[in-house]
Amino acid sequence: MIVVACPGQGSQTPGFLTPWLADDASRALVERYSQVTGVDLVKHGTESDAETIRDTALAQPLIVAASLLALRALREAAPDAVIGGIAGHSVGEAAAAAGAGILSDDDALRFVRSRALLMAQAAAAASTGMSAVLGGDPDAVIQHITGFGLEPANFNGGGQIVVAGALDALSRLSEEPLRGTRVVPLQVAGAFHTHYMEPARDGLAAEATGFTVNDPTLPIWTNSDGSPVESGERFLDLMVRQVAAPVRWDLCMASFEAAGITGLIELTPGGALTGLAKRGLKGVPAVAIKTPDDVPAAVELLAATAESNA
């Protein structure tokens, strides 16, 4: 069973869309996505620097649009391939919702645009950020960071917990890490998935009532607790709640394993989730689609699974 994984905020890098836009059809699609989101995705995916695309209001629609573009390329390259399931990390859940047919591509992008603006507004209300804590016992890490007034935001598995809160508290944590751990500041603009985002969650709940929602056509797992979700309405509700609640990617990977995962394909801008899979899903082959040149490797992984199931 191949699981498609959709990356979250922080995975974007300057110019990462450039190789994709050499194809006229891909450029036209991104231009349409730009109209839907009101963001010049072509410009920000090819010309803008790291600081510019760090802006939540730009980063989130840019990442989801790129994932939808890569998923389209994968499905066109392997139209008969069977995808066993799909999941997204944080904002990547919107791309996963579109991939599973819960939302249309356009509605997924509209959802993300609203999410991004509301989260950016919430982030602007206080000087906050996020850092990854690498290594250490998870319970000990949580106890340690609580002493700084910080909150766990992402349980990523593979020995990585992302914590969030006030910038001065994150700075103190870097100076006084738990023994045996390493603290790495992340290039994000707020304390996402914490109580700081409650105003964004409430605003998004009102926005979400305007979307047409279908039940998923693929198995899909929620960041809330890693469980599979069979109701499209419930998945949308969980996406709204998740704005101010921790991402449990560790539990998602545990669910992939329980379901019999045989390979993972990460969509553009890929890399972070395949890295986590190497530690959290040891022995499971993973392919990150960073550019169109990576699509054949993903198709090969799909084909290998089909042959083993034949």
What is the residue-averaged pLDDT of the chain? 95
The beta strand positions in the chain, using DSSP E, are: 2-6, 85-88, 128-134, 151-157, 160-166, 182-185, 263-266, 286-288
The order of strands in the sheet holding 160-166 is: 151-157, 160-166, 128-134, 182-185
Q: Does the domain formed by 2-123+194-309 have CATH 3.30.70.3280?
A: no
Range 168-195 average pLDDT? 94
Residue 28 token pair: 């036209």
| Alpha carbon separation from 98 to 74, 89, 298, 306 (Å, rounded) | 14, 14, 19, 24
| Predicted confidence band of residue 134 (pLDDT cuts 50, 70, 90) | very high
Residues recognised as catalytic: 90, 193
Range 49-56 average pLDDT? 92
The domain locations on the chain are 2-123+194-309, 128-185
Range 68-81 average pLDDT? 96
Give yes or no for a contact between 236 and 213, defined as CB atoms under 8 angstroms apart.
Answer: yes
210 has a pLDDT exceeding 90? no
Q: Convert the pLDDT of each residue in 4-46 to its tens digit.
A: 999 998 889 999 999 999 999 999 999 999 999 999 999 999 9
What is the distance between the alpha carbons of residues 153 and 169, in angstroms, rounded to a whole number?
Answer: 15
304 has a pLDDT exceeding 90? no
310 has a pLDDT exceeding 60? no
166 has a pLDDT exceeding 60? yes
| Predicted confidence band of residue 223 (pLDDT cuts 50, 70, 90) | very high
305 has a pLDDT exceeding 90? no
| Predicted confidence band of residue 308 (pLDDT cuts 50, 70, 90) | low
Distance of CA 101 to the CA centre of its chain: 17
HSE-CB at 127 with a 13 A cutoff on CA atoms is 5
One-letter identity of residue 112? V
What CATH number has the domain spanning 128-185? 3.30.70.250
